[in-house]
Amino acid sequence: MTALFEVKNLTIDIPVPSGMLHAVRGISFEAMRGETLCIVGESGCGKSLTSLAMMDLLPTTAIRNAEKMTFQGQDMRSFSEHQMSDIRGSQMGMIFQEPMTSLNPSYSIGDQLTEMLIRHKNASRAEARERAIYLLEKVGITAAASRLNQYPHQLSGGLRQRVMIAMMLMCDPALIIADEPTTALDVTIQAQILLLLAELQKEFDMGLILITHDLGVVARVADRVAVMYAGEIVEAGTAEEIFNRPTHPYTQGLLDCIPIPGKTARGAKLGAIPGIVPSLVGVIEGCSFRERCKYASDACAKPGIELVPVSGIVEEHVTHDYRCVLSADQCVENLAGNA
Amino acid sequence: MTVNTSKLPDPATILEPSPTQLLTRRAFGHTGLMIGGGILLIMLIMALFAPILAPFDPYDQDLAQRLIPPVWHDKGSWGHPLGTDNLGRDYITRIIYGARISLLIGFSAMLISGVLGTALGVAAGYFGGRVDMVITFLITTRLAMPVILVALAVVALLGSSLQIVIWVLGLLIWDRFAVVMRSATQQIRTMDYVTSARALGCSTLRIILSEILPNVANALIVVATLEVAHAVLLEAALSFLGLGVQPPEPSWGLMISEGKSHMFFKPWVIAIPGTAIFLLVLAINLLGDGIRDVTAPENRN
Amino acid sequence: MTTPNVLEIRDIYQTYQISKGLFQPKKPLHAVNGVSLKVARGEVLGLVGESGCGKSTLAKILLGLLKPTQGEVLIDDKPVADLDRLDIARMVQPIFQDPYSSLNPRKSVGSIISLPLRVQNAPNPETWQKRVEETMDLVGLPKRVYNNYPSQMSGGQRQRVAIARALINRPQVVICDEPTSALDVSVQSQILNLLVDLRQELGLTYVIISHNLAVVEHIATRVAVMYLGRMVEVADTDDLFEARQHPYSQALLNSVLTPDPSLGISDSHLGATYPNPIDPPSGCTFHPRCAKKMAHCDSEAPTPIDTGSGVVECHLYKD
């Protein structure tokens, strides 16, 4: 199976007054049709910039470089702005965190839904309207026909996010990039939106790249996971592997930080990752997590720590890579010793 | 276990610079702000040290020396670097003394309107509801009045003196203060630190003085500078119309008015005070824009 | 004399008049619609519900920032209406969600934390700095940040400043409105640990408002579930998480996503829309979204039923 989207060694540099900010430092990943890839990380890890880079929507000062960047087999680096804007919306759909800011308040839902189809696919107004109603019903909006005449402010946050999803589906995209799509929503609505996204993705056989900081969301929807820290992927693999056998100390730390009903004792000390994310300005060598890592040693400061496969995986389709000087067994042992 | 930290500086020791440091750094890097501030500083020095700087007495008339052209003109001389007016008074002296009047009126009118407008704007923004309704009504009423016409009417009625001009202008141009302060306060009022101050039991006055005002100060300073410029221009206009500062006071607007009959043959008579007004207003506006850029870089495009 | 209930509210209503247009009559919005609650000393009460359920309004009422339209709030058995705002401030303090908006950007850390002392006109001003430093130590802030400004600090440190400000006068009750939801996961756990420690050390009572049910489960001893201005279920945390009774609590708790890849996402069957609080559904206000709706649910409003450890408001449990 060929990848729907593939990027190799993506870097994003942003010039700042004090030097060059290396926001994303050589990350590679691929998205397949019918598969959900979750990019997870805390604020400042570069996950949102990565999603913007995929859509070519980075701020103008940012410098994007990649060894390879293909979408449906085509080299994206050679696309003109015009080609890119054709692809955005028609073949690549994006959902943002705050649905209110992504919908234009002065146009009706119907106008915004149909505009894309009319513009990208030369559909007639009636056809576009019909598809809009079909998709609004698909995303669970009742009385869809009458909703077309409503304006964004008349809808609740959950409904707006549903409209966003319907809008993104209008042109039948091959890939969806969702950047924190449920963070602004209530838990009850969050579950529904995620469920909806997962169902639609299977139904339309789309690729889904979900960017989030919420490990609970990741565990429930991801097929594959990439954990980012300080602009790098520190651990990547299939969801079961990452959650059942977290290997990188950062991933282990993150999982230890969240209380799990039924597992964590009430009021018990939660794990913590001391310190703060290092500055990414200037030259960065060695493991960027070593400042906060309890297993750090002199070896961690040496450059060239690569993402390597965890040994002992024999099953097909199961992947698990990590970026640490310790052996995978040692990492897992560390975790067991902690518990 | 030792960790090699030579490459990565200890995050705890890198502190972002404090707001004051950032501000000074940005201020000195802003060209417009530096130019505007420079010109304004020169004008201020002119106004403060007028008796020392000016070569003549601003009221001394010498009809034998009337309408001498400035020094760059063929017939000019260094005796009167900017020439003399139609009564033979030294022009550079009157320009220097004129800065006093312009700045005095500009700043006083700004202070009066600033206090009034800020009080009304903050009250409207903070209390909302009926208070807001009444004050918004006052603002609209004020906006419906043409400033120059009202000023003309009042000055015509009460006679004109420096004080009257200051008060009339001060009581007429508070609207922008009120509008800007109202919306700025509305924004700050919803911040959690204001709620927190209320939960701590702070009095309303204390909240307004120590939580709201420091955070709307940027906007306030910008409006204040623009209103100084506004008042300077209005004063010049009123003086030109003969209803502002009265002769023989050396007001720039009045100087233009007095020179207007010579405009076609001796254009410098009005060009010089005109340039002075232009420079002052430009400097104040540059300063205001600069302060806005420096204090709120996120608002800049 | 100490009483078991440090905070008590009796039949609170908070009603707003919403104008729907210039010439239309105003309509009432019952943000809080008849809520009674007792918070015992030393307990951690979690308050959960979707946005718009009235939990933030209730928090404001508990802080004395909002005078309820009807009903009574008692702090330490004293009616709030009889108390001075400084008295309330000494006993109840808030911690807010967003540490970027809860600290005045123009004030230094020392000045922010000492504000309560200045407002209360605390005795011996010469000891204030020492008290501030002690409190900073208590919440894990290094002394060297005393003269720093909030913009120079990380989100976690800011939240510690906000906690220090709330605790410097040693209040009895701390109302935490989403105390960790604006923070990163690794910082969130540090703040939660701190809240747990401080409670033990200072004998605090918390009211924790959160939409993150995992956090509530971790820290709360009792949980109150709110829906459309009503308290639909109040129960001990264990009871609620193991044997929740109200269908809404069930749906809400089923929506918690634990990091377990073997579980998928279950449909909460709550439907897409939260009802409009200006025009609430008849009978039990939850009936349009309820999976266990019965015939009389849309006509008859349920009344609170005592379950022993708490209260539930649902026709299913009426004898």
Q: Does C181 touch chain A (CB under 8 A)?
A: no
* Location of structure tokens 């109202």: B182
Measured distance CA(A84)–CA(C134) in Å, rounded: 57
Q: What angle do CA A45, A47, A52 make, to 5 degrees?
A: 135
Query: pLDDT value at position B15?
Result: 52
CATH of the domain at B247: 1.10.3720.10
In this structure, the strands spanning A320-322 and A308-309 are antiparallel
Q: Which of C87, C104, C154, C163 to mutate to test the interface with B (most CBs of B within 10 A)?
A: C104
Q: Which of residues 299-318 of A touch C (CB under 8 A)?
A: none
DSSP per residue, A106-170: TS-HHHHHHHHHHHHH---HHHHHHHHHHHHHHTT-SSHHHHTT--GGGS-HHHHHHHHHHHHHT
Which residue of chain C is at minimal alpha-carbon distance from B216?
A: C106
The average confidence (pLDDT) of chain C is 87
Q: Is C118 on the interface with B (CB under 8 A)?
A: no
Cα A221 to chain centroid distance, Å, stands at 12
Q: Is the dihedral of CA B290, B291, B294, B296 positive or negative?
A: negative
pLDDT 10s digits, B121-150: 999 999 988 999 999 999 999 999 888 888
Nearest to C278 by CA among C317, C229, C210: C229
Q: How far apart are CA A228 and CA A217, in angstroms?
A: 16
Question: B: neighbours with 3+ CB pairs under 8 Å?
Answer: A, C
Torsion of CA A64, A68, A70, A75, to 10 degrees: 90
Rounded to whole angstroms, the Cα distance separating C142 from C162 reads 14
Give the span between the Cα atoms of A56 and C257, in whole angstroms: 32
Confidence check: pLDDT of B297 > 70: no
Q: With CB atoms and an 8 Å threshold, state whether A270 touches C265.
A: no
Chain A stretch 171-200, residues whose beta carbon is closer than 8 A to a beta carbon of chain C: 186-192, 194-195, 198
Q: What is the C-alpha radius of gyration for chain C, rounded to an integer number of angstroms?
A: 21
Token pair of C40, please?
A: 């015992």
Query: Most A CBs within 10 Å: which of B2, B5, B6, B8, as the mutation test of the A interface?
Result: B8
List of chain A residues whose C-beta atoms are within 8 Å of the C-beta of residue B6: 301
The CA-based dihedral angle spanning residues B260, B262, B264, B268, taken in that order and rounded to the nearest 10 degrees:
-90
Q: Let me know if residue B77 belongs to a domain.
A: no
Contact A227, A57 (CB under 8 A): no
Q: Does some domain include residue B240? A: yes
Given this model, what pLDDT does residue A44 score? 82
Chains touching C, CB cut-off 8 Å, 3+ pairs:
A, B
For residue B11, the model assigns a pLDDT of 41
Average pLDDT rounded to a whole number, residues B142-161: 85
Give CA–CA dist A23/C42, Å, rounded: 45
Put simply, whether C223 touches A (Cβ < 8 Å) is: no
Domain region containing B242: 101-299
pLDDT of amino acid B113: 95
Distance from CA of C276 to the nearest CA of B (A): 24
Which span out of A272-276, A281-285, B8-12, C163-167 was modeled with the highest average pLDDT?
A: C163-167
Residue of C nearest to B218 (CA): C106
Scanning B205-224 for CB atoms below 8 A from C yields: 206, 210-211, 214-215, 217
Provide ipTM, 2 decimals. Answer: 0.85
Contact of B193 with chain C, judged by CB distance below 8 Å, is answered with yes
B5 in any annotated domain: no
Put simply, the answer to whether C258 touches A216 (Cβ < 8 Å) is yes
Asked if B16 lies within 8 A of C152 by C-beta distance, the reply is yes
Q: In angstroms, rounded to a whole number, what is the distance separating the alpha carbons of residues B151 and B168?
A: 6
Any CB–CB contact under 8 A between B14 and chain C?
A: no
Q: Report whether pLDDT(B230) > 50.
A: yes
Of the candidates B147, B163, B148, B175, the residue with the CA atom closest to the CA atom of residue B240: B148
Substitution target in C87, C115, C161, C173 with the highest count of B β-carbons within 10 Å is C115
How long is chain B?
301
Q: Does some domain include residue B274? A: yes
**Per the CB < 8 Å rule, is B199 touching C148?**
no
Is the bond leading into B248 cis (omega within 30 degrees of zero)?
Answer: yes
- Select from B10, B18, B20, B193 the residue whose CB has the most chain C CBs within 10 Å, as the one to mutate to test that interface: B193
Nearest to B192 among C96, C149, C152 (CB): C96
SS3 of chain C: helix, strand, coil, percent, to 5:
35, 25, 40
Residue A8 has a pLDDT of 92
Q: Which residue has tokens 């990350």?
A: A27
Flag whether residue C288 sits within 8 Å of chain A, measured between CB atoms. Answer: no
Structure confidence at residue B19 as a pLDDT band (50, 70, 90): low
By DSSP bridging, strand C70-75 and strand C5-18 are: antiparallel
DSSP string, B227-259: HHHHHHHHHHHHHHTTSSSPTTS--HHHHHHHH
CB contact set of C149 (below 8 Å; sequence gap of 6+): B18, B19, C105, C106, C107, C108, C109
Residues A73, A91: contact at Cβ < 8 Å?
A: no
Could you please state the CATH topology (level 3) that the domain comprising A5-222 is classified under: Rossmann fold (3.40.50)
CA pseudo-torsion sign C174, C178, C180, C185: positive
**CB of B9 within 8 Å of any CB in chain A?**
yes
Interface test with A, best of B7, B13, B16, B21 (most A CBs within 10 A): B7
- Contact between B252 and B244 under an 8 Å Cβ cutoff? The reply is no
pLDDT, tens digit, for every residue of A283-324?
A: 888 898 988 888 888 888 888 888 888 877 777 788 899 998
Q: Do A140 and C262 touch (CB under 8 A)?
A: no
For C18, which DSSP code?
E
CB contact under 8 A, B199 and C98: no
**Among B15, B199, B215, beta carbon nearest to C63:** B199
Segments making up each domain of chain A, as ranges = 5-222, 229-338
CA A255 to each of CA A46, A216, C260, C265: distance values in angstroms, whole numbers, following the listed order: 20, 10, 11, 19
State the angle between helix axes of C247-254 and A187-204 in degrees (0 to 180), rounded to the nearest 10: 60
**Domains of chain C, first to last:** 5-317 (3.40.50.300)
Residue B231 predicted with pLDDT over 70: yes
CA C172 to CA B162: how far, in whole Å?
61
- Tell me how far the alpha carbon of residue C312 is from its chain's centroid: 19
- Residue B7: what pLDDT? 40
Count of structural domains, chain B: 1
Cβ-Cβ contacts under 8 Å for C196 (sequence gap 6 or more): A267, A269, C219
Kind plus residue range of the DSSP H or E element containing A178: strand A175-179
Most confident listed range (A168-182, B165-179, C272-286) = B165-179
Task: Establish, for the pair of chains A and B, how many residue pairs have beta carbons separated by less than 8 Å.
Answer: 40
* Cβ contact, residue pair A270, C218, below 8 Å: yes
User: How distant, in Å, are the alpha carbons of A184, C60, C91, C100 from that of B193?
Assistant: 22, 14, 19, 9
Q: Which chain A residues have a beta carbon less than 8 Å from that of C251?
A: 188
- Cβ C120–B202 below 8 Å, yes or no? no
Angle at A103 between CA A100 and CA A105, to 5 degrees: 85
Strand-pairing partners, residue C45, are: C207, C222
Q: Give pLDDT < 70 ranges for chain A.
A: 1, 99-100, 338-339
- B15 close to C (CB below 8 A): yes
CB contact under 8 A, B15 and C148: yes
Q: Which amino acid is at C13?
A: Y
Nearest CA-CA partner of A282 in C237, B198, C112, B6: B6
- The reply to whether residue B11 touches residue A301, judged by beta carbons under 8 angstroms, is no
Alpha-carbon A280 to chain mean position? 21
| Closest-CA residue to A254 (of C187, C257, C195) | C187
pLDDT band, very low/low/confident/very high, at C272 (cuts 50, 70, 90): low
Does the beta-carbon distance from B214 to C115 stay under 8 Å? Answer: no
For residue B78, being part of any structural domain is answered with: no
**B11 Cβ under 8 Å from any chain A Cβ:** yes
**Looking at the complex, does the CB of residue C214 fall below 8 Å from at least one CB of chain A?**
yes
For residue C48, the cross-strand partners are C225
Query: Nearest to residue A271, comparing CAs of A243, A300, A292, A244?
Result: A292
Q: Which helix (H) or strand (E) holds C13?
A: strand C5-18
Q: Helices in chain A by DSSP H: which ranges?
A: 47-54, 81-90, 99-102, 109-121, 125-138, 144-147, 157-169, 187-204, 215-221, 239-244, 249-257, 328-338
B216: Cβ contacts below 8 Å, ≥ 6 apart: B122, B181, B184, B185, B188
Burial class (CB in 10 A: 0-12, 13-18, 19+), C57: buried
Any chains having at least 3 CB pairs less than 8 A from chain A are: B, C
pLDDT band at B2 (very low <50, low <70, confident <90, very high): very low
Residue C150: CB partners within 8 Å, gap ≥ 6? C99, C100, C103, C104, C105, C107, C109, C112, C158, C161
Binned at pLDDT 50, 70 and 90, residue C21 comes out as low
Q: Within a domain: residue B11?
A: no
> Is the predicted pLDDT of residue C217 greater than 50, yes or no?
yes
**Interface check B7 vs A, CB under 8 A:** yes
Cβ C102–B192 below 8 Å, yes or no?
A: yes
